[in-house]
Amino acid sequence: MARFRSLRWRLTLLYLSLLAGLLLLGGVAQYFAAREVLFRTNADVLASEYTAVFGAFHKANASRPAAALRAVILSQQFSNELRSRNTSAAIFDLNGGRVAWAAASLGTDEVPTLTNQAYIDAVQGKGKTYYVASGNDGTTNYLVVLNVIRNGTRPLGLAQLAIPTSEIDQTLRADRELAIIGSLLVLLIAGLLSPLIVGRALGPLEQMAATAGALAAGDYKQRVPVPKTGDEIGKLAVAFNQMAAGIEQAFEVRRQSEAQMRHFVADASHELRTPLTSIAGYIDVLARRTVVDPETLQSSLAAMQQESTRMTRLVNDLLTLTRFESGKAPSRQPVVLDRFLNQALDELSLADKGAAESRDLQAGVTVRADPEALKQVVTNLAQNALKYAPGAEQRWSVFETDGRAAIRLQDTGPGISRQDLPHIFERFYRGEKARDRSTGGSGLGLAIAKSIVEAHQGTMEAASEPGKGATFTAWLPLAA
Ligand code: ADP
Protein backbone atom coordinates (compact mmCIF):
# COMPACT_ATOMS: atom_id res chain seq x y z
CA MET A 1 0.00 0.00 0.00
CA ALA A 2 2.83 2.33 0.94
CA ARG A 3 4.28 1.62 -2.45
CA PHE A 4 1.27 3.15 -4.15
CA ARG A 5 1.55 6.23 -1.99
CA SER A 6 4.98 6.94 -3.43
CA LEU A 7 5.45 9.90 -5.72
CA ARG A 8 6.36 7.60 -8.59
CA TRP A 9 2.99 5.83 -8.45
CA ARG A 10 1.05 8.98 -7.84
CA LEU A 11 2.64 10.65 -10.87
CA THR A 12 2.07 7.55 -12.99
CA LEU A 13 -1.58 7.36 -11.96
CA LEU A 14 -2.09 11.05 -12.53
CA TYR A 15 -0.49 10.82 -15.95
CA LEU A 16 -2.51 7.75 -16.92
CA SER A 17 -5.82 9.21 -15.76
CA LEU A 18 -5.06 12.41 -17.66
CA LEU A 19 -4.23 10.40 -20.76
CA ALA A 20 -7.39 8.29 -20.37
CA GLY A 21 -9.48 11.44 -19.96
CA LEU A 22 -7.96 13.04 -23.04
CA LEU A 23 -8.40 9.86 -25.09
CA LEU A 24 -12.04 9.63 -24.03
CA LEU A 25 -12.66 13.27 -24.87
CA GLY A 26 -10.88 12.92 -28.21
CA GLY A 27 -12.80 9.72 -28.95
CA VAL A 28 -16.19 11.27 -28.23
CA ALA A 29 -15.39 14.38 -30.30
CA GLN A 30 -14.10 12.25 -33.15
CA TYR A 31 -17.23 10.05 -33.02
CA PHE A 32 -19.61 12.97 -33.31
CA ALA A 33 -17.55 14.61 -36.05
CA ALA A 34 -17.49 11.37 -38.08
CA ARG A 35 -21.21 10.89 -37.52
CA GLU A 36 -21.95 14.40 -38.77
CA VAL A 37 -19.75 13.92 -41.84
CA LEU A 38 -21.38 10.58 -42.68
CA PHE A 39 -24.92 11.94 -42.28
CA ARG A 40 -24.14 15.00 -44.38
CA THR A 41 -22.46 12.97 -47.12
CA ASN A 42 -25.43 10.60 -47.32
CA ALA A 43 -27.84 13.53 -47.29
CA ASP A 44 -25.88 15.10 -50.16
CA VAL A 45 -26.13 11.84 -52.10
CA LEU A 46 -29.92 11.73 -51.55
CA ALA A 47 -30.25 15.34 -52.61
CA SER A 48 -28.29 14.72 -55.83
CA GLU A 49 -30.38 11.59 -56.48
CA TYR A 50 -33.50 13.71 -56.19
CA THR A 51 -32.08 16.38 -58.52
CA ALA A 52 -31.19 13.77 -61.16
CA VAL A 53 -34.56 11.96 -61.02
CA PHE A 54 -36.56 15.19 -60.93
CA GLY A 55 -34.56 16.58 -63.88
CA ALA A 56 -35.36 13.55 -66.01
CA PHE A 57 -39.02 13.40 -64.90
CA HIS A 58 -39.58 17.09 -65.52
CA LYS A 59 -37.99 16.87 -68.95
CA ALA A 60 -40.23 13.96 -69.90
CA ASN A 61 -43.34 15.87 -68.80
CA ALA A 62 -42.28 19.38 -69.79
CA SER A 63 -44.82 19.58 -72.67
CA ARG A 64 -47.78 19.27 -70.29
CA PRO A 65 -49.72 22.36 -69.20
CA ALA A 66 -48.83 23.69 -65.71
CA ALA A 67 -51.80 22.13 -63.89
CA ALA A 68 -51.22 18.72 -65.45
CA LEU A 69 -47.53 18.93 -64.73
CA ARG A 70 -48.26 19.72 -61.10
CA ALA A 71 -50.71 16.78 -60.91
CA VAL A 72 -48.25 14.32 -62.36
CA ILE A 73 -45.43 15.53 -60.11
CA LEU A 74 -47.55 15.24 -56.96
CA SER A 75 -48.48 11.69 -57.90
CA GLN A 76 -47.63 8.11 -57.01
CA GLN A 77 -45.75 7.85 -60.31
CA PHE A 78 -43.14 10.40 -59.34
CA SER A 79 -42.75 8.87 -55.89
CA ASN A 80 -42.18 5.48 -57.55
CA GLU A 81 -39.52 7.09 -59.73
CA LEU A 82 -37.80 8.51 -56.68
CA ARG A 83 -37.63 5.37 -54.57
CA SER A 84 -34.82 2.91 -55.11
CA ARG A 85 -33.34 -0.23 -53.57
CA ASN A 86 -32.72 1.30 -50.18
CA THR A 87 -34.52 4.59 -50.44
CA SER A 88 -38.16 5.25 -49.69
CA ALA A 89 -39.85 8.23 -51.21
CA ALA A 90 -42.88 10.36 -50.33
CA ILE A 91 -44.50 13.42 -51.90
CA PHE A 92 -46.13 16.20 -49.85
CA ASP A 93 -48.25 19.15 -50.91
CA LEU A 94 -47.48 22.71 -49.83
CA ASN A 95 -49.48 22.24 -46.59
CA GLY A 96 -47.40 19.26 -45.50
CA GLY A 97 -50.07 16.74 -46.45
CA ARG A 98 -48.71 13.44 -47.78
CA VAL A 99 -50.09 12.80 -51.25
CA ALA A 100 -48.07 9.76 -52.37
CA TRP A 101 -45.37 7.44 -51.06
CA ALA A 102 -43.30 4.43 -52.05
CA ALA A 103 -41.35 2.17 -49.71
CA ALA A 104 -37.83 1.08 -50.60
CA SER A 105 -37.72 -1.91 -52.93
CA LEU A 106 -35.63 -3.82 -50.36
CA GLY A 107 -35.60 -3.63 -46.55
CA THR A 108 -38.55 -2.40 -44.53
CA ASP A 109 -41.86 -1.25 -45.94
CA GLU A 110 -41.81 1.73 -43.76
CA VAL A 111 -41.86 5.30 -45.04
CA PRO A 112 -40.87 7.48 -42.07
CA THR A 113 -42.70 10.70 -41.34
CA LEU A 114 -41.58 13.89 -39.66
CA THR A 115 -43.79 16.35 -37.82
CA ASN A 116 -46.12 18.38 -39.95
CA GLN A 117 -44.31 21.53 -38.86
CA ALA A 118 -41.03 20.15 -40.28
CA TYR A 119 -42.66 19.86 -43.73
CA ILE A 120 -44.17 23.35 -43.58
CA ASP A 121 -40.77 24.78 -42.50
CA ALA A 122 -39.09 23.01 -45.39
CA VAL A 123 -41.63 24.43 -47.91
CA GLN A 124 -40.85 27.90 -46.51
CA GLY A 125 -37.14 27.35 -47.10
CA LYS A 126 -36.35 26.94 -43.36
CA GLY A 127 -35.62 23.21 -43.60
CA LYS A 128 -32.51 21.44 -42.39
CA THR A 129 -30.01 19.57 -44.55
CA TYR A 130 -31.19 16.31 -43.03
CA TYR A 131 -33.44 14.89 -40.33
CA VAL A 132 -33.25 11.73 -38.30
CA ALA A 133 -36.56 9.98 -37.70
CA SER A 134 -37.12 6.82 -35.72
CA GLY A 135 -39.20 4.09 -37.26
CA ASN A 136 -42.34 2.54 -35.83
CA ASP A 137 -40.52 -0.57 -34.62
CA GLY A 138 -38.35 1.65 -32.38
CA THR A 139 -35.12 0.11 -33.54
CA THR A 140 -34.70 1.41 -37.10
CA ASN A 141 -33.67 5.01 -37.61
CA TYR A 142 -33.92 6.88 -40.88
CA LEU A 143 -31.94 9.62 -42.47
CA VAL A 144 -34.52 11.89 -44.06
CA VAL A 145 -33.89 14.59 -46.69
CA LEU A 146 -36.60 17.00 -47.82
CA ASN A 147 -36.40 18.55 -51.29
CA VAL A 148 -38.69 21.37 -52.42
CA ILE A 149 -40.19 20.45 -55.80
CA ARG A 150 -40.13 23.53 -58.06
CA ASN A 151 -41.45 24.26 -61.49
CA GLY A 152 -39.00 27.03 -62.39
CA THR A 153 -39.06 29.06 -59.16
CA ARG A 154 -42.60 28.16 -58.16
CA PRO A 155 -42.75 25.55 -55.36
CA LEU A 156 -45.15 22.69 -56.09
CA GLY A 157 -44.62 20.47 -53.09
CA LEU A 158 -42.01 18.43 -51.19
CA ALA A 159 -40.18 15.23 -52.07
CA GLN A 160 -38.94 13.21 -49.10
CA LEU A 161 -36.17 10.67 -49.55
CA ALA A 162 -35.24 8.46 -46.59
CA ILE A 163 -32.75 5.68 -46.01
CA PRO A 164 -32.26 3.57 -42.88
CA THR A 165 -29.20 4.68 -40.90
CA SER A 166 -28.14 1.07 -40.26
CA GLU A 167 -25.17 1.24 -42.66
CA ILE A 168 -23.99 4.53 -41.21
CA ASP A 169 -24.44 3.12 -37.70
CA GLN A 170 -22.40 0.10 -38.66
CA THR A 171 -19.56 2.26 -39.97
CA LEU A 172 -19.72 4.36 -36.82
CA ARG A 173 -19.72 1.23 -34.62
CA ALA A 174 -16.64 -0.07 -36.37
CA ASP A 175 -15.04 3.32 -36.02
CA ARG A 176 -15.93 3.40 -32.32
CA GLU A 177 -14.53 -0.06 -31.72
CA LEU A 178 -11.31 0.89 -33.47
CA ALA A 179 -11.03 4.02 -31.36
CA ILE A 180 -11.65 2.07 -28.14
CA ILE A 181 -9.11 -0.63 -29.02
CA GLY A 182 -6.57 2.02 -30.09
CA SER A 183 -7.09 3.99 -26.87
CA LEU A 184 -6.75 0.88 -24.73
CA LEU A 185 -3.57 -0.02 -26.56
CA VAL A 186 -2.16 3.48 -26.02
CA LEU A 187 -3.14 3.29 -22.33
CA LEU A 188 -1.53 -0.12 -21.98
CA ILE A 189 1.72 1.06 -23.53
CA ALA A 190 1.65 4.25 -21.43
CA GLY A 191 0.84 2.17 -18.35
CA LEU A 192 3.85 -0.04 -19.02
CA LEU A 193 6.25 2.73 -19.93
CA SER A 194 5.30 5.57 -17.62
CA PRO A 195 6.42 3.90 -14.34
CA LEU A 196 9.79 3.38 -16.01
CA ILE A 197 10.00 6.94 -17.29
CA VAL A 198 8.76 8.47 -14.04
CA GLY A 199 11.05 6.14 -12.08
CA ARG A 200 13.98 7.26 -14.17
CA ALA A 201 13.14 10.90 -13.64
CA LEU A 202 12.68 10.40 -9.90
CA GLY A 203 15.73 8.14 -9.50
CA PRO A 204 17.92 11.01 -8.24
CA LEU A 205 15.37 11.71 -5.51
CA GLU A 206 15.58 8.15 -4.24
CA GLN A 207 19.34 8.43 -4.37
CA MET A 208 19.12 11.62 -2.35
CA ALA A 209 17.00 9.91 0.28
CA ALA A 210 19.57 7.10 0.51
CA THR A 211 22.43 9.59 0.69
CA ALA A 212 20.64 11.61 3.36
CA GLY A 213 20.33 8.37 5.34
CA ALA A 214 24.06 7.75 4.95
CA LEU A 215 24.80 11.33 6.05
CA ALA A 216 22.61 10.86 9.10
CA ALA A 217 24.52 7.67 9.88
CA GLY A 218 27.77 9.64 9.87
CA ASP A 219 29.15 9.08 6.39
CA TYR A 220 29.73 12.75 5.59
CA LYS A 221 31.62 12.05 2.37
CA GLN A 222 28.47 10.87 0.55
CA ARG A 223 27.23 12.97 -2.39
CA VAL A 224 24.58 12.46 -5.07
CA PRO A 225 25.40 12.52 -8.80
CA VAL A 226 24.00 15.68 -10.40
CA PRO A 227 21.88 14.86 -13.49
CA LYS A 228 22.94 16.93 -16.49
CA THR A 229 19.35 17.89 -17.27
CA GLY A 230 19.58 21.23 -15.44
CA ASP A 231 15.96 20.82 -14.28
CA GLU A 232 14.48 21.18 -10.81
CA ILE A 233 15.82 17.79 -9.72
CA GLY A 234 19.29 18.80 -10.97
CA LYS A 235 19.09 22.01 -8.95
CA LEU A 236 17.91 20.03 -5.93
CA ALA A 237 20.89 17.68 -6.31
CA VAL A 238 23.28 20.65 -6.44
CA ALA A 239 21.68 22.19 -3.35
CA PHE A 240 21.74 18.81 -1.60
CA ASN A 241 25.45 18.40 -2.29
CA GLN A 242 26.14 21.91 -1.05
CA MET A 243 24.28 21.07 2.14
CA ALA A 244 26.21 17.82 2.50
CA ALA A 245 29.48 19.71 2.00
CA GLY A 246 28.37 22.20 4.66
CA ILE A 247 27.59 19.39 7.08
CA GLU A 248 30.93 17.72 6.37
CA GLN A 249 32.76 20.98 6.93
CA ALA A 250 30.89 21.67 10.16
CA PHE A 251 31.76 18.23 11.48
CA GLU A 252 35.36 18.61 10.39
CA VAL A 253 35.56 21.91 12.28
CA ARG A 254 34.03 20.24 15.33
CA ARG A 255 36.40 17.30 15.06
CA GLN A 256 39.36 19.63 14.78
CA SER A 257 38.28 21.78 17.67
CA GLU A 258 37.75 18.67 19.79
CA ALA A 259 41.20 17.47 18.83
CA GLN A 260 42.60 20.92 19.69
CA MET A 261 40.82 20.83 23.02
CA ARG A 262 42.27 17.40 23.85
CA HIS A 263 45.68 18.65 22.81
CA PHE A 264 45.28 21.71 24.95
CA VAL A 265 44.24 19.75 28.01
CA ALA A 266 47.13 17.33 27.50
CA ASP A 267 49.62 20.20 27.11
CA ALA A 268 48.26 22.07 30.13
CA SER A 269 48.39 18.92 32.28
CA HIS A 270 51.91 18.28 31.14
CA GLU A 271 52.98 21.83 31.97
CA LEU A 272 51.41 21.60 35.41
CA ARG A 273 52.90 18.20 36.14
CA THR A 274 56.47 19.43 35.79
CA PRO A 275 56.41 21.92 38.70
CA LEU A 276 54.26 19.56 40.78
CA THR A 277 56.76 16.72 40.30
CA SER A 278 59.53 19.09 41.24
CA ILE A 279 57.76 20.21 44.46
CA ALA A 280 56.95 16.58 45.31
CA GLY A 281 60.66 15.77 44.84
CA TYR A 282 61.75 18.45 47.31
CA ILE A 283 59.18 17.31 49.85
CA ASP A 284 60.37 13.75 49.43
CA VAL A 285 64.00 14.71 50.00
CA LEU A 286 63.13 16.74 53.11
CA ALA A 287 60.89 14.00 54.49
CA ARG A 288 63.64 11.40 54.29
CA ARG A 289 66.01 13.37 56.44
CA THR A 290 65.69 13.25 60.16
CA VAL A 291 67.70 16.41 60.56
CA VAL A 292 67.59 19.15 57.96
CA ASP A 293 70.19 21.85 58.06
CA PRO A 294 68.81 25.39 57.70
CA GLU A 295 70.60 26.03 54.39
CA THR A 296 69.10 22.99 52.67
CA LEU A 297 65.71 23.89 54.08
CA GLN A 298 66.02 27.46 52.83
CA SER A 299 67.12 26.48 49.34
CA SER A 300 64.42 23.78 49.08
CA LEU A 301 61.74 26.21 50.19
CA ALA A 302 63.01 28.82 47.74
CA ALA A 303 62.94 26.27 44.90
CA MET A 304 59.44 25.15 45.87
CA GLN A 305 58.29 28.75 45.98
CA GLN A 306 59.73 29.32 42.49
CA GLU A 307 57.87 26.29 41.18
CA SER A 308 54.65 27.37 42.81
CA THR A 309 55.06 30.87 41.34
CA ARG A 310 55.57 29.30 37.92
CA MET A 311 52.47 27.20 38.43
CA THR A 312 50.39 30.18 39.53
CA ARG A 313 51.57 32.11 36.47
CA LEU A 314 50.66 29.20 34.23
CA VAL A 315 47.21 28.83 35.74
CA ASN A 316 46.64 32.60 35.41
CA ASP A 317 47.77 32.45 31.79
CA LEU A 318 45.38 29.58 31.10
CA LEU A 319 42.52 31.48 32.70
CA THR A 320 43.28 34.59 30.62
CA LEU A 321 43.49 32.52 27.48
CA THR A 322 40.19 30.72 28.05
CA ARG A 323 38.53 34.00 29.00
CA PHE A 324 39.41 35.62 25.66
CA GLU A 325 38.94 32.50 23.58
CA SER A 326 35.47 31.83 24.98
CA GLY A 327 34.22 34.41 22.49
CA LYS A 328 32.84 36.74 25.18
CA ALA A 329 33.26 40.33 23.99
CA PRO A 330 35.68 42.38 26.16
CA SER A 331 34.26 45.46 27.88
CA ARG A 332 35.50 48.30 25.74
CA GLN A 333 36.14 52.00 26.07
CA PRO A 334 37.94 54.55 23.89
CA VAL A 335 41.70 54.20 24.30
CA VAL A 336 44.06 56.85 22.87
CA LEU A 337 46.99 54.64 21.97
CA ASP A 338 49.95 57.05 22.37
CA ARG A 339 48.83 58.04 25.86
CA PHE A 340 48.06 54.44 26.76
CA LEU A 341 51.40 53.04 25.50
CA ASN A 342 53.44 55.80 27.18
CA GLN A 343 51.85 54.90 30.49
CA ALA A 344 52.17 51.14 30.00
CA LEU A 345 55.84 51.32 29.00
CA ASP A 346 56.61 53.70 31.87
CA GLU A 347 55.13 51.18 34.29
CA LEU A 348 57.22 48.39 32.78
CA SER A 349 60.42 50.52 33.16
CA LEU A 350 62.22 48.52 30.50
CA ALA A 351 65.38 50.60 30.73
CA ASP A 352 65.85 49.31 34.28
CA LYS A 353 65.71 45.76 32.90
CA GLY A 354 68.52 46.38 30.44
CA ALA A 355 66.58 47.19 27.27
CA ALA A 356 67.28 50.27 25.20
CA GLU A 357 63.81 51.52 24.49
CA SER A 358 62.60 54.08 21.93
CA ARG A 359 59.11 55.36 21.15
CA ASP A 360 57.58 56.77 17.99
CA LEU A 361 53.93 57.29 18.81
CA GLN A 362 51.49 59.00 16.45
CA ALA A 363 49.25 61.22 18.54
CA GLY A 364 45.51 60.76 18.82
CA VAL A 365 45.09 57.27 17.30
CA THR A 366 42.06 55.94 19.16
CA VAL A 367 40.63 52.45 19.40
CA ARG A 368 37.82 50.95 21.46
CA ALA A 369 39.38 48.38 23.75
CA ASP A 370 39.67 46.88 27.19
CA PRO A 371 42.79 48.77 28.49
CA GLU A 372 43.71 46.02 30.96
CA ALA A 373 43.70 43.40 28.21
CA LEU A 374 45.65 45.67 25.85
CA LYS A 375 48.23 46.20 28.60
CA GLN A 376 48.64 42.44 28.83
CA VAL A 377 49.48 42.36 25.10
CA VAL A 378 52.13 45.07 25.53
CA THR A 379 53.54 43.34 28.62
CA ASN A 380 53.80 39.96 26.91
CA LEU A 381 55.57 41.46 23.88
CA ALA A 382 57.94 43.47 26.06
CA GLN A 383 58.76 40.49 28.26
CA ASN A 384 59.41 38.30 25.24
CA ALA A 385 61.83 40.89 23.86
CA LEU A 386 63.54 41.02 27.27
CA LYS A 387 63.77 37.23 27.33
CA TYR A 388 64.70 36.46 23.74
CA ALA A 389 66.51 39.66 22.77
CA PRO A 390 68.23 40.59 26.03
CA GLY A 391 70.00 43.96 25.90
CA ALA A 392 68.66 44.66 22.42
CA GLU A 393 66.85 47.82 21.42
CA GLN A 394 63.03 47.84 21.61
CA ARG A 395 61.44 50.27 19.16
CA TRP A 396 57.83 50.88 20.05
CA SER A 397 55.54 52.66 17.63
CA VAL A 398 51.87 53.56 17.26
CA PHE A 399 50.41 54.55 13.88
CA GLU A 400 47.33 54.48 11.74
CA THR A 401 47.11 53.16 8.20
CA ASP A 402 44.31 51.93 5.88
CA GLY A 403 41.72 52.65 8.53
CA ARG A 404 43.47 50.48 11.11
CA ALA A 405 45.48 51.30 14.19
CA ALA A 406 48.73 49.50 14.99
CA ILE A 407 50.91 48.96 18.03
CA ARG A 408 54.29 47.70 16.89
CA LEU A 409 57.38 46.44 18.68
CA GLN A 410 60.56 46.00 16.71
CA ASP A 411 63.58 44.56 18.48
CA THR A 412 67.16 44.20 17.35
CA GLY A 413 67.61 40.78 18.88
CA PRO A 414 68.44 37.45 17.24
CA GLY A 415 65.02 37.21 15.53
CA ILE A 416 62.94 34.07 15.01
CA SER A 417 63.99 31.10 12.89
CA ARG A 418 62.03 30.24 9.75
CA GLN A 419 60.87 26.95 11.31
CA ASP A 420 59.53 28.68 14.42
CA LEU A 421 57.88 31.71 12.81
CA PRO A 422 54.67 30.01 11.56
CA HIS A 423 54.06 28.44 15.01
CA ILE A 424 54.92 31.07 17.60
CA PHE A 425 51.26 32.05 18.15
CA GLU A 426 50.26 28.46 18.91
CA ARG A 427 49.47 27.58 22.48
CA PHE A 428 52.43 26.04 24.37
CA TYR A 429 54.72 26.50 21.40
CA ARG A 430 58.24 27.35 22.39
CA GLY A 431 60.92 28.24 19.88
CA GLU A 432 63.97 26.08 19.51
CA LYS A 433 66.16 28.37 21.61
CA ALA A 434 63.47 28.80 24.23
CA ARG A 435 62.99 25.12 25.07
CA ASP A 436 65.36 25.52 27.98
CA ARG A 437 62.91 25.98 30.82
CA SER A 438 65.18 28.35 32.76
CA THR A 439 64.80 31.09 30.13
CA GLY A 440 61.69 30.03 28.22
CA GLY A 441 58.18 30.61 29.41
CA SER A 442 55.23 28.26 29.04
CA GLY A 443 54.67 29.11 25.39
CA LEU A 444 51.38 30.93 26.10
CA GLY A 445 52.49 34.59 25.96
CA LEU A 446 51.93 35.16 22.24
CA ALA A 447 48.84 32.92 22.13
CA ILE A 448 47.30 35.14 24.83
CA ALA A 449 48.31 38.32 22.96
CA LYS A 450 46.74 36.97 19.80
CA SER A 451 43.49 35.89 21.46
CA ILE A 452 43.15 39.33 23.11
CA VAL A 453 43.73 41.19 19.83
CA GLU A 454 41.31 38.89 17.98
CA ALA A 455 38.66 39.37 20.69
CA HIS A 456 38.91 43.07 19.68
CA GLN A 457 38.35 42.12 15.99
CA GLY A 458 42.03 42.79 15.28
CA THR A 459 44.88 40.68 13.97
CA MET A 460 48.33 39.87 15.31
CA GLU A 461 51.34 39.70 13.01
CA ALA A 462 54.95 38.67 13.44
CA ALA A 463 57.82 39.13 11.01
CA SER A 464 61.47 38.39 11.40
CA GLU A 465 64.66 38.22 9.52
CA PRO A 466 66.79 35.82 11.55
CA GLY A 467 69.79 37.60 13.01
CA LYS A 468 68.24 41.02 12.51
CA GLY A 469 65.47 41.03 15.11
CA ALA A 470 61.75 40.45 15.25
CA THR A 471 58.73 42.69 14.64
CA PHE A 472 55.33 42.18 16.27
CA THR A 473 52.29 44.22 15.22
CA ALA A 474 48.88 44.28 16.82
CA TRP A 475 46.34 45.64 14.31
CA LEU A 476 43.11 47.00 15.78
CA PRO A 477 40.04 48.61 14.21
CA LEU A 478 39.92 52.39 14.71
CA ALA A 479 37.23 53.79 16.99
CA ALA A 480 34.36 55.08 14.85
P1 ADP B 1 57.05 31.82 25.79
O2 ADP B 1 56.24 31.63 26.97
O3 ADP B 1 57.90 30.66 25.44
O4 ADP B 1 57.72 33.12 25.74
P5 ADP B 1 55.51 32.89 23.67
O6 ADP B 1 54.21 32.43 23.14
O7 ADP B 1 55.52 34.24 24.29
O8 ADP B 1 56.02 31.78 24.63
O9 ADP B 1 56.55 32.85 22.50
C10 ADP B 1 56.66 31.75 21.64
C11 ADP B 1 58.01 31.65 21.06
O12 ADP B 1 58.24 32.76 20.17
C13 ADP B 1 59.11 31.75 22.05
O14 ADP B 1 59.38 30.48 22.58
C15 ADP B 1 60.27 32.25 21.20
O16 ADP B 1 60.94 31.21 20.57
C17 ADP B 1 59.61 33.10 20.15
N18 ADP B 1 59.72 34.54 20.41
C19 ADP B 1 58.80 35.34 20.99
N20 ADP B 1 59.20 36.62 21.02
C21 ADP B 1 60.44 36.65 20.47
C22 ADP B 1 61.39 37.68 20.20
N23 ADP B 1 61.16 38.95 20.55
N24 ADP B 1 62.55 37.32 19.62
C25 ADP B 1 62.80 36.04 19.28
N26 ADP B 1 61.92 35.02 19.49
C27 ADP B 1 60.78 35.31 20.07
For 159-170, the pLDDT digits (tens) are 999 999 999 999
Question: Is the CB–ligand 1 distance for residue 471 below 6 Å?
Answer: no
Q: What is the pLDDT of residue 436?
A: 59
Tell me: pLDDT of 403 over 80.
yes
Question: Is the CB–ligand 1 distance for residue 264 below 6 Å?
Answer: no
Question: Is the CB–ligand 1 distance for residue 428 below 6 Å?
Answer: no
Question: Is the CB–ligand 1 distance for residue 460 below 6 Å?
Answer: no
Residue 435 pLDDT grade (very low, low, confident, very high; cuts 50, 70, 90): low
Q: How much is the average pLDDT of 378-392? A: 94
CA of 405 to the centre of ligand 1 (A): 23
Q: Where are the beta strands (DSSP E) in 239-363?
A: 333-336, 356-361
Q: What is the pLDDT of residue 203?
A: 83
Q: Where are the beta strands (DSSP E) in 206-340?
A: 333-336
Question: Is the CB–ligand 1 distance for residue 427 below 6 Å?
Answer: no
List the single range of 182-191, 393-402, 424-433 with lowest mean pLDDT. Answer: 424-433
CA of 468 to the centre of ligand 1 (A): 15
CA torsion sign for 116, 122, 127, 128 is positive
Question: Is the CB–ligand 1 distance for residue 15 below 6 Å?
Answer: no
Q: What is the pLDDT of residue 373?
A: 95
Q: What is the pLDDT of residue 434?
A: 66
pTM over 0.75: no
The per-residue pLDDT of the chain, averaged, comes to: 91
CATH classification number, 329-477, choose in 3.40.50.300, 3.40.190.10, 3.30.565.10, 3.40.50.2020 = 3.30.565.10
Domain range summary for the chain, segments of one domain joined by +: 7-172, 203-328, 329-477
Q: What is the pLDDT of residue 206?
A: 86
* Residue whose CA lies nearest to ligand 1 atom number 14: 430
What is the identity of the amino acid at 229?
T
Q: How far apart are CA 476 and CA 8, in angstroms?
A: 59
List the single range of 106-110, 301-305, 405-409 with lowest mean pLDDT. Answer: 106-110
Q: How far apart are CA 472 and CA 453, in angstroms?
A: 12
Nearest Cα to Cα of residue 449 among 468, 466, 432, 474: 474
Question: Is the CB–ligand 1 distance for residue 384 below 6 Å?
Answer: yes
Mutating to test ligand 1, I would choose from 310, 381, 388, 427 the residue with most ligand atoms within 8 A of its C-beta, which is 388
List the single range of 83-92, 119-128, 222-231, 363-372 with lowest mean pLDDT. Answer: 222-231
Q: What is the pLDDT of residue 386?
A: 94
Domain 203-328: which CATH class?
mainly alpha
Query: pLDDT tens digits for 306-350?
Result: 999 989 999 999 999 888 888 788 899 999 999 999 999 999 999
CA of 142 to the centre of ligand 1 (A): 115
Exposed/middle/buried for 107, CB within 10 Å: 0-12, 13-18, 19+?
middle
Q: β-strands 356-361, 131-134: how paired?
A: unpaired
CATH classification number, 7-172, choose in 3.30.450.20, 1.10.3720.10, 3.90.1720.10, 3.40.50.300 = 3.30.450.20
Question: Is the CB–ligand 1 distance for residue 57 below 6 Å?
Answer: no
Which atom of ligand 1 lies nearest, measured to the CA of 469? 24
Question: Is the CB–ligand 1 distance for residue 389 below 6 Å?
Answer: yes
Find all residues with CB under 8 Å of 202, minimum gap 6, and list them. 7, 8, 11, 233
Question: Is the CB–ligand 1 distance for residue 434 below 6 Å?
Answer: yes
Query: pLDDT tens digits for 251-270?
Result: 999 999 899 889 889 989 98
**Do the two domains 7-172 and 329-477 of this chain adopt the same fold?**
no
* Residue whose CA lies nearest to ligand 1 atom number 8: 443
Exposed/middle/buried for 333, CB within 10 Å: 0-12, 13-18, 19+?
exposed
CA torsion sign for 118, 119, 121, 125 is positive
Exposed/middle/buried for 414, CB within 10 Å: 0-12, 13-18, 19+?
middle
Q: How far apart are CA 444 and CA 35, in angstroms?
A: 99
Question: Is the CB–ligand 1 distance for residue 420 below 6 Å?
Answer: yes
Q: What is the dihedral of CA 56, 58, 64, 70, to 10 degrees?
A: 140
Tell me: pLDDT of 292 over 90.
no
Tell me: pLDDT of 409 over 90.
yes
Tell me: pLDDT of 226 over 90.
no
Q: How far apart are CA 170 and CA 429, in angstroms?
A: 101
CA of 460 to the centre of ligand 1 (A): 14
Q: What is the pLDDT of residue 91?
A: 94
* Torsion angles phi and psi, residue 468, rounded to 5: -115, 10
Residue 440 pLDDT grade (very low, low, confident, very high; cuts 50, 70, 90): low
